[in-house]
Amino acid sequence: MPEDALYVYGIVKAENKSEWKEKGINGVAVYTINEEGFSAIVHNCEEKPYLSKEPEEIKELIISHNNILNKAMEHFGGVIPFSFNTIIKKGDVDSKYNLKAWLNNDNALLETVWDKVKGKTEYGIRVYYEKEKLIGDVPQQKEVKKIKKGAGLSYLLASKAKAKSNELAQNKIHEFKQIFFDEIKKLADDIKINVSKISIKEDKDLLLNLSVLIEPARIGGINEFLEGKKNDGFSFQLAGPFPPYSFAENDA
């Protein structure tokens, strides 16, 4: 079958680097196409996405995609990652011409994104809190007690007390979020709050779900800060390093 398209893994700045070849999705040869100081990491493909009815097969394809990006980060000192199934089609000319034209036209934007991500990787951080330990005293606070005070708790008073308790609890949660966000922001190069569109079953109460952009050697500072909060009723998960998708996808 003809292979008129190019599958693009990502973009690197290939300064003073020798030719780079790897094996990517389905063992296909991966190589670079250079234009205006940047190199696209590609392999030849058909003009159609990689699809499968089997979730495990899709998972393996995505893993292969990310493996190439991880190797690129190590070899080139950074990568502007593209999402799985980014394909440049032939169009009226050919796919290589189209890719080079894009690299040339968007050179200034690529420079900006490259300066942002070079030498850095992405980590995911999920911070959890012990609700009973940290929020459990809210019903005993003065503002709630003041509402409850009087001749019994009518339905109206009970509703007001519950609403006040919820308000105070949310204020405390927001305060906790701000403390973690501000401290981690100081330690990272960039930070984003993730709002998941997928419901994830967890046996803990999630406080924050973050992505951070940081030099790998500096992640120890964030880990140390999080470890220091464990005795205060918090726990965390730190995952990575990953290609910096969250910090390139809105720019490149």
Reading the block at residue 184, the tokens are 């981690």
Q: How far is CA 153 from CA 58, 140, 142, 147, in A?
A: 58, 15, 16, 9
Amino acid, res. 151: A
Q: 136: buried, middle or exposed (CB in 10 Å: 19+, 13-18, 0-12)?
A: exposed
Write b or e for each residue in 220-247: b if 16 or more Cβ atoms lie within 10 A of its Cβ, otherwise e: eebeeebeebeeeebebeeebbbbbbbb
The pLDDT of residue 157: 52
| Strand-pair category, 5-13 with 22-23 | unpaired
Inform me whether the pLDDT recorded for 219 exceeds 50: yes
**Calpha distance 233→109 (Å, rounded):** 43
Left, alpha or beta for 240 (phi > 0: left; psi -120 to 50: alpha)? left
Confidence of residue 144 (pLDDT cuts 50, 70, 90): very low
Query: Where do the CATH 3.30.70 domains begin and end in the chain?
Result: 121-247
Instruction: Name the average pLDDT for the chain.
Output: 84
pLDDT tens digit string along 15-36? 655 578 899 999 999 999 998 8
Judge whether 243 and 66 are in contact, CB under 8 Å: yes
What's the whole-number mean pLDDT along residues 231-236? 91
The pLDDT of residue 197: 57
Helix orientation angle between 219-227 and 155-187, rounded to the nearest 10 degrees: 150
pLDDT tens digit string along 146-161? 544 554 555 455 566 5
CB within 8 A of 201, min separation 6: which ones? none
pLDDT tens digit string along 171-194? 888 898 999 999 999 999 999 999
Domain 121-247 has CATH 3.30.70: yes
